[in-house]
Amino acid sequence: MMDWTDRHCRYFHRLLSRRALLYTEMMTTGALIHGNVPRHLDFNAQEHPVALQLGGSDAAELAHCARLGEQWGYDEINLNCGCPSERVQRGSFGACLMAEPQLVADCVKAMADAVTVPVTVKHRIGIDKGESYEFVRDFVGAVSEAGCRVFLVHARNAWLKGLSPKENREVPPLRYETVHRLKHDFPQLAFAVNGGITEDEQVAEQLALVDGVMIGRQAYHNPWWLAQWDARFFDAVESNLTREIVEEQMTEYMARERADHGTPWSAVARHMLGLRNGLPGARRWRQVWSDHKLKDLHPRDVMALAHDR
């Protein structure tokens, strides 16, 4: 979800669900150590609970960045061992780390020793075309011994050569049963399953077998789905939230961001373009909110245009 789940996106998603745990896009240790820390780590207090996802493979650097994350107020630090992109592989992190479980364990231990918030790991069920259950079982076993108690598992292999990141989300077959088997073999650990889940019924089916479900692009492209989650999966009272209320709140947020930080409204609006999917007038609504010719208008005037029939 790099370049997608920035702080504006997370603010939007938090309006839809008060209870779901939100994750940042993956941030590399190099970006935090050598870059602008406030720009990378600043977030809105309304986003809680929110987890910082890190990419890296040096234990000391990850420990340093985990401390930064805790100091900035994140509720969880997550190590990404699932991203298959070649750019990430050149940095020796992401999914290729699954081939080095002891290195991951060392990194997790260093991070866990550095912070008091939970340290979790996101990973795949294998790399390339090997489908050995023992491979992912041993990975989880080694990393759990280092102190990780929560694993977020994309239920596909990561093919490190020959597939784009997009193809890696679609071509390797989904094998949810592997995640279910991990939960059976490690009942003391928590497992959340990720990959190919697009409907409430699928979420409910998985929650009967594992501890959580992670949703990525489906939540981004169909954000109104999130508005049902608190009542359906967290036993919260039914809310009276509407798309119009959310759009109004986002418009106010855009105005604050522009006044306080000079943020163009389009940098925020891009994340909510799926809000009215399937409704009459949705296409025109999206066109208005993505029209850069309107960039100098106040967000409230853009909203009025979007609903002008």
Contacts of 212 (CB under 8 A, 6+ apart): 152, 190, 191, 192, 193
Is the model more confident about 90 or about 260? 260
- pLDDT tier at 26, thresholds 50, 70, 90: very high
Instruction: Report the alpha-carbon distance of residue 270 to residue 15 in Å, rounded.
Output: 16
Instruction: Report the alpha-carbon distance of residue 222 to residue 267 in Å, rounded.
Output: 18
Tell me the domains of the chain and their CATH numbers: 7-233 (3.20.20.70), 243-306 (1.20.120)
The per-residue pLDDT for 89 is: 54
Mean pLDDT (whole number) for 1-16: 89
Burial category of 143 from C-beta neighbours within 10 Å (exposed 0-12, middle 13-18, buried 19 and up) = buried
Mind listing the pLDDT tens digit for each residue in 111-132? Answer: 999 999 999 999 999 998 888 9
Instruction: Report the alpha-carbon distance of residue 59 to residue 41 in Å, rounded.
Output: 20
The per-residue pLDDT for 164 is: 77
Q: Residue 196, by phi and psi: left (phi above 0), alpha (psi -120 to 50) or beta?
A: left
In terms of Cα–Cα distance, which of 219, 84, 89, 269 is closest to 163?
A: 84
The per-residue pLDDT for 246 is: 98
The per-residue pLDDT for 172 is: 85
Is the model more confident about 39 or about 160? 39
Catalytic positions are 83
Query: Quick one: tokens of 286?
Result: 């999206």
Encode 158-175: b = buried (16+ Cβ within 10 Å), e = exposed: bbbeebeeeebbeebebb
The per-residue pLDDT for 222 is: 96
Cα angle 142, 144, 147 (rounded to 5 degrees) comes to 120
Q: What is the chain's percent helix, strand, coil content, to nearest 5?
A: 50, 15, 35
| DSSP-assigned letter for residue 270 | G
Mean pLDDT (whole number) for 249-274: 96
- Is the distance from CB of 160 to CB of 181 less than 8 angstroms? no
Instruction: Report the alpha-carbon distance of residue 191 to residue 150 in Å, rounded.
Output: 6
Mind listing the pLDDT tens digit for each residue in 162-215? Answer: 777 778 777 889 999 999 999 999 999 999 999 999 999 999 999 999 999 999
Give Rg (Cα) of the chain: 20
Range of weakest confidence among 129-133, 215-219, 267-271: 129-133
Instruction: Report the alpha-carbon distance of residue 272 to residue 223 in Å, rounded.
Output: 7
The per-residue pLDDT for 87 is: 60
Token pair 């009459």 in the structure block, residue: 280
Burial category of 233 from C-beta neighbours within 10 Å (exposed 0-12, middle 13-18, buried 19 and up) = middle
Mean pLDDT (whole number) for 55-75: 97
Assess whether pLDDT exceeds 90 at residue 92. Answer: no
- Is the distance from CB of 77 to CB of 69 less than 8 angstroms? yes
Assess whether pLDDT exceeds 70 at residue 91. Answer: no
Which helix (DSSP H) or strand (DSSP E) does residue 167 occupy?
helix 165-168
The answer, as to whether pTM is greater than 0.95, is: no
- pLDDT tier at 103, thresholds 50, 70, 90: very high
Instruction: Report the alpha-carbon distance of residue 229 to residue 261 in Å, rounded.
Output: 32
The sign of the CA dihedral 9, 154, 149, 94 is negative
